Structure 1
Amino acid sequence: MPSSPTLSELYNQHSGLVSDKWDSYLSVYERSLAKYVRSPIQLLEIGVQNGGSLEIWSHYFSNARAIVGCDINRACAGLNYDNPKTHVVIGDIKMPETLSAIMKHAESFEIIIDDGSHTSQDIIKTFAQMFPHLNNDGVYIVEDLHCSYWKQFEGGLFSPHSSMSFFKALTDILNFEHWGLPNSRLSILEPFKTPPELTEAHLAQIHSVEFVNSMCIITKKEPSCNILGRRRVSGEVEQISPVKQVNNTYNKAPPQP
C-alpha cells in the first residue's frame, strides 16, 4: 500500500483555497494526528477563514466520515468543496443553535481544532462546550495561544483568567488522585466560570495536556487509563535501596544499618 503524503507535503502541493498555519504547527499535527490518517474519523475545525485547511484535512484524512468547519463570518457560507463530506456551519460555536447545526453532520469527533477568535473567554467556553463531544482516544488542539499573552485577547503573562492559565490548571487535574484534599476537579476551574457542560466526569477523562509554542494538545481517554495504577517492582537484588511490599504496593524501607 503506497504511503500517504505528509501534511507538509500536502501544504507544499496545495493550490486551492488559502490555508494559514505556522510552520511548526504542521509537525505537531503530523505527530499528534498521523494515527488517524486511514481511519473514518470525524473532525471539527473552529475558525474557517478562507477555507483551505478544510480542503487539506479532507485530503490528509481521505477516509474521514465528516470534515466540519464552523465560523461566525457569514461570508464563509459561500465556500464550496468538491468533497461531499466537507461541511461549513455558520454561527457562534458557543450558541446552542450553532452546536445543533454541527451535530447534524457529526454528533462527536475524534479531532477538534480551535482556530477561532483566540480570545481567552471564547477558548475556555468553547473547550467546556466541545470537550464532551470529543470521543475517547480523541485529540483536542488549540492554536495560536500566543494571543493569551496579549491584552486585546483578554490575556497577559500573569493574567489568572487567560486561556493559558486555564490549560495550565488542567495539568493539575491530571494529578487529581494525589491532591490529598476533598476538593473536586471542578473546584480548580471555578475562577474561570466554565459553563455547566463541563462536568467532573468529563475532567476525569483528560489523559494528557501537552504544550508546544502557541499550541495546547489535550487527549481524552477512559478514566481507568488516567490513574497512576499499580506500582511494579521487578528484580530481586536490593543492593542500594531496599523496598518492601505492603498490601500489593511497595514502599521504600528505611536504610539498613
Structure 2
Amino acid sequence: MYSQHTGKVSDKWSSYLVVYDRILKSYRNQKVRLLEIGVQNGGSLEIWAKYFSNAKLIVGCDINPKCANLSYEDPRIHVLVGDATSDKVKSNLVKLSKSFDIIIDDGSHYSSDIIKSFAKYFPLLRCGGVYIVEDIHTSYWKKYEGGIFYPFSSITFLKHLVDVINYEHWGVKEKRESILKGFFKKYNFQIDAINLQSIHSITFLNSMCVIFKSEQENNTIGKRCVSGLVDDISKAERKVNNTLSVPQDQKNNRWSDFDLPADEKFLE
C-alpha cells in the first residue's frame, strides 16, 4: 500500500513500515481515531485513511503554516496548524475528539517536544490504545537536545518509563513520578500518577518507541501462579501460590536511595 501510494508525499524509514503493520493490524478494521504530530507534505494522513478504512477521524498537526493549505477529499482527515505542545492546539484538538486510539509523534524530534507532547497527549489516549514515537535516534544528537549520556534526552525519559512500569518493585518510599521530577523541572510540565499507572508496556526498536496503555489492574505483576504436584527439589513454591509480590526493602541500597537518578546527580 505504501509503495503504491501516488498522492501527497510521505517519508518513513523502511523498518517503520514493518513495525506499523505488525502492531496496528489489530486496529485495522476498527473505527479508530488517529492523531499524527508532524504532517509535512501530508501523505501519511492519506495512507492512514486507506489503511484504516473504517476510521472515524484522522488528525494531523504541524507547526508549519504552509500545512494550512493542505486539502483532502476525505472528510475524516483534518489538519491543525500550530505547536502541538501548546495549550491552544490541544484545545482545538479536543474539539475534534476527546480521545484517540492511536497517537504517532513524528514532529520536530527535539527531546523537549517529544517529552512535552507525550505529557500532553498520552492522557488523551484511550486504554487499549498505542502511542508511537518515531525517529528517537535524534536523541543522541546535540542539535536535537540529546547525547548518548544526556540525562534529559527523550530516550532517557522513555527509559525511565520502564522503571515506572516496574514501580511496585522499587522497595523505597518514593512516588512513581519522583523519577521524572528532573524532567518536570527542566521542561516545565507534569504527568500525574493516574496516567503513569496506565502505561502497560514499552517496546524499543531502532529509532522507535511503542507504548501501550491499559487499565491499572492490567499493569501489575499480579498474583503468583503455581501449578503441578511434584516438588522433589523445593517445597516452597506451592506455599506461595496465589500470593502477591512483596518488594524487598531497599532503603539501605545506595543505588535505590538517591533523590535523583544517578545521571542527573552528575550535573549537580
Mapped contact 2:116–2:189 kept (Cα < 8 A): no
- 1:245 matches 2:243: no
| Matched positions, count | 242
**CA-to-aligned-CA distance 1:12-46 (integer Å, 9 cap, x gap):** 11000000000000111111111110000100000
Q: What are the residue-to-residue correspondences of 1:187-202 with 2, within 5 Å?
A: 187-193=178-184, 196-202=189-195
Measured in 1, the distance between the counterparts of 2:67 and 2:213 equals: 30
Q: What are the residue-to-residue correspondences of 1:21-100 with 2, within 5 Å?
A: 21-100=12-91
> Helix, strand or coil for the counterpart of 2:6?
coil
After TM superposition, give the deviation of residue 240 of structure 1 in Å: 2.5
Q: Which residue of 2 aligns with 1:179?
A: 170
Mapped contact 1:18–1:53 kept (Cα < 8 A): yes
Q: In structure 1, what residue type is equivalent to 2:88?
A: E
Mapped contact 2:32–2:56 kept (Cα < 8 A): yes
> Helix, strand or coil for the counterpart of 1:139?
strand
Mapped contact 1:128–1:195 kept (Cα < 8 A): no
After TM superposition, give the deviation of residue 197 of structure 1 in Å: 5.0
Measured in 2, the distance between the counterparts of 1:196 and 1:47 equals: 21
Measured in 2, the distance between the counterparts of 1:250 and 1:51 equals: 49
Distance 1:51 1:144, change over 3 A: same
Unaligned runs of 5+ in 2: 246-268
Question: Which runs of 4 or more aligned residues in structure 1 lie more than 3 Å from their structure 2 counterparts after TM superposition?
Answer: 194-197
Mapped contact 2:225–2:241 kept (Cα < 8 A): no
Unaligned runs of 5+ in 1: 1-9, 252-257
> Helix, strand or coil for the counterpart of 1:69?
strand
After TM superposition, give the deviation of residue 144 of structure 1 in Å: 0.3
Percent of residue pairs bearing the same amino acid type:
55
Mapped contact 1:132–1:197 kept (Cα < 8 A): no
TM-score, length basis structure 2: 0.87
Measured in 2, the distance between the counterparts of 1:100 and 1:197 equals: 17
**CA-to-aligned-CA distance 1:99-152 (integer Å, 9 cap, x gap):** 111112211100000000000011001100110000001100000000000000
**CA-to-aligned-CA distance 1:27-84 (integer Å, 9 cap, x gap):** 1111111111000010000000000000000000011110000000010111111110
> Helix, strand or coil for the counterpart of 2:103?
strand
- 1:152 matches 2:143: yes
Mapped contact 2:38–2:60 kept (Cα < 8 A): yes
Measured in 2, the distance between the counterparts of 1:246 and 1:226 equals: 21
Q: Which moved more, 1:77-86 or 1:44-53?
A: 77-86
Q: Which residue of 2 aligns with 1:143?
A: 134
> Helix, strand or coil for the counterpart of 1:210?
strand
Measured in 1, the distance between the counterparts of 2:129 and 2:192 equals: 18
